[in-house]
Amino acid sequence: GNSVTQMEGPVTLSEEAFLTINCTYTATGYPSLFWYVQYPGEGLQLLLKATKADDKGSNKGFEATYRKETTSFHLEKGSVQVSDSAVYFCALSTTNNNDMRFGAGTRLTVKP
């Protein structure tokens, strides 16, 4: 079945540090891949997405590239800010499964 494996947290970084959160997936068919962010006490917000191999999603300085050969969609940001502190979820969906499959989530804390 479809599943997402995500780097376990929590991750604690200093402001302006480089961020990588690893995500790999297993899917039948051709999935779309997503990164969602959840701030404390709030719902899930789409951060970025990619719908086919080699696509790069980007938003707010975050980037992730859909790598079919390694079945990965790692999230990166060159310089994190305190306001980036949140839980990040990698997710996938396919036309075969009418639901979003989420990774376990990675809690990021950025310290000044």
Partner 1 sequence: AAGVIQSPRHLIKEKRETATLKCYPIPRHDTVYWYQQGPGQDPQFLISFYEKMQSDKGSIPDRFSAQQFSDYHSELNMSSLELGDSALYFCASSLFRGRDEQFFGPGTRLTVL
Task: Tell me the C-alpha distance between 47 and 43, whole Å.
Answer: 12
Shortest spacing between CB 7 and partner 1, in angstroms: 13
Whichever of 73 and 89 has its CB closer to partner 1, that residue is 89
- Which residue in this structure is represented by tokens 């809690």? 107
Whichever of 38 and 65 has its CB closer to partner 1, that residue is 38
Shortest spacing between CB 15 and partner 1, in angstroms: 25
Residues forming the site for partner 1 (CB under 8 A)? 30-32, 34, 36, 42-46, 49, 51, 89, 93-105
CB 104 within 8 A of CB 3: no
List strand residue ranges (DSSP E) for the chain, in order.
3-6, 11-14, 19-21, 23-26, 32-38, 44-50, 56-59, 62-65, 75-77, 86-93, 101-102, 106-111
Shortest spacing between CB 102 and partner 1, in angstroms: 4
Whichever of 13 and 102 has its CB closer to partner 1, that residue is 102
DSSP state of 72: B
Whichever of 37 and 80 has its CB closer to partner 1, that residue is 37
